Structure 1
Amino acid sequence: MGVDYYEILKVNKNATDDDLKKAYRKLAMKWHPDKNPTNKNEAEAQFKQISEAYEAIYSIFLSFLVLNDPQKRAIYDQYGEEGLKDLPPPGSSGGSSGFNPRNAKDIFAEFFGSSPFGFGSTGPGQSMRCQSDGGGMFGGFTGADNIFRTYSEGTSAMPRKPPPIESKLPCSLEELYSGSTRKMKISRTVMDGNGRAIPETEILTIDVKPGWKKGTKITFTDKGNEQPNQLPADLVFVIDEKPHDIYKRDGNDLLLVHHRVSLAEALGGTTVNLTTLDGRKLSIPVTDIVSPGYELVVAREGMPIVKELGNRGDLKIKFEVKFPTKLTSEQRAGLRRALGG
């Protein structure tokens, strides 16, 4: 069958006029070469193909509605674009090569008026169904009349892109330790094929990576609100850390502060029993004397390090010694003997 115009525009075979316009508007803005300077060749090819697909299906649509010609869509559905090109143009009495798509810039300008990408709308002296004037199916894309010029060479400004819309994404320390998948339902405003603002909802998936820190940003390009004559805003989620009951984070390290031990444990040794953020049980022996300011470091039991796969920071335990409030005379004497004082 060849090229599937329906698939190119991401519409089904029962698409309405509004469906076609909305699909073209969205894809044309996405793939315009001036919006894709890093892969301009691919974008130009996609942009031409989108324009041809819109023109082809819209031609079928007009034949069905205006000329009461239901066979045209059936012929395309059966024979593809080759069958469509063998048909006479709408309103003619015959002839071959009836499908002659308009210049892509004319189609784009028809939607966006004075072009936001710098090549002006179709005006007097420029046919709305012009033939190729620069070679290839879509004339004007090469040579001196190159519509894919830089913005500074155009006559009108690039559509303004609003500032990103930022939203906090609170995550527990456990999520940032092990990673998680979050589903976020968003509501936004988009423009339909007729330039009207309509509400839309969508589910976005965010894969929280182990070791991500507070302030990490996840950007969904063009998923913010759309407004007339503007590019869609980007939607940005910013990682925020929820407070934890036991641990505090210090970069890639975890801190366990104010772990309380008795004076006897501080002097005679003890064991610290902990549950890690991923649910493991740790028993950490303390054989050193716990003096003021003492810190026990457990290597590689901290947070995952994003740029060092499999590596982790450290767990640092800071102690608080609980002194007795009363001692008997025998206890005092025993301490003096034991401590040599």
Structure 2
Amino acid sequence: MGADYYKLLGIGRDASEEEIKKAYKKMALKWHPDRNSGSEEASKKFKEISEAFEVLSDKQKRTVYDQFGEEGLKGGGGPPPGAGAGPSGGFSGFSGFPGGGGNTFTFTSGPSEFGGGRGGFSPSDPNKVFETFLSQMGMGGFGGLGGMGGIGGMSGMGGMRGGRSGASAFDQDDSMNGFGSFGGMPGGMPNGRRNSRPQPQPPSGSTPSTPSGPSEITRPLKVSLGDLYQGTTKRLKVGRRLLDGTMEDKVLEIDVLPGWKSGTKIRFPRAGNEQPNGETQDLVFVVEDKPHEHFVREGNDLVTHVKIPLVEALTGDGSKRVVELLDGRKVQVPLPGGVVKPGQETRLPGEGMPIRKGGTNSKGDLLVKWEVAFPERLTAAQKEGLKRVLG
């Protein structure tokens, strides 16, 4: 059963736009992680209500959700091509649709997240949703809300390092996530970058321009563990909306470097939608690991599980098992000496993921965790034999 976005915000299904905003503001302040330091429940709640608001505050997403539920929304069960949509910007975000084969993907940053009925809705960063909400409400950060410890403003993603094709990439390990810079909060980080660029002020007596959307659009870039091990090049076809209402397509290339981690961010400045205020949105892709059939990444180490029969666990001194690595090489892994216990590990140094710190060519380790396959049943004779041997 899908999530009940209305229930998460504590509103009825006929709630107005203002009621949705008011409910979200109340719930977001209540469950914001900075008010509930270290609370996993608060972080989860904050993420859930941000997702609920992102959907219900957008007329098109709300319509799809009301008709098809969360599964239909995220599964791409949206309106057919050509269905009406609101203006660009706001919370519409940057939707992705499978396109072509291999390492080519298609993303569209226009107003509709459901064009062609494929792709589906992917929730944005809850911190970004909250920041965008505050800026559109004219609050400019936490400073105008009170009761939040005097937090002066919000920043985005710092610690950028140079990338390819005009893009800049930075690792999650070296960046300040979420709000980053807290001007008046004890223990805050004063060196964060602001996520929103300063908006030009209209001349005195003039009419303010139409509010623009967020200064950047963030979407996940799913990469296989093998590609993160060896490196690859991803080609992304991007459609962006121009001020005259037309769409422009371009192809971006991302060189995925060996050792990149989930959370690595790649920024393409001014590659998104053109805004009414003359600014152009940045496109930011965030690397996500695709699950692998045999390996799990733990930092710079790789973990795999190898199953052996009970008799070999008891008697297999000197036995080895062959493990095929992500680059296709096969290594012989010796069983631990003596009786092998379930969960016991064998570590192979230097056979893990590439390490990108300090300009070295080193790698993490491979951890083989041994699983012991116990027999489903034993005959009476086998039981007696075991008693004689082990008793």
TM-score (norm 2): 0.43
Q: Which has the larger radius of gyration?
A: 1
Relative to total residues, which structure has the larger helix share, 1 or 2? 1
TM-score by length of 1: 0.49
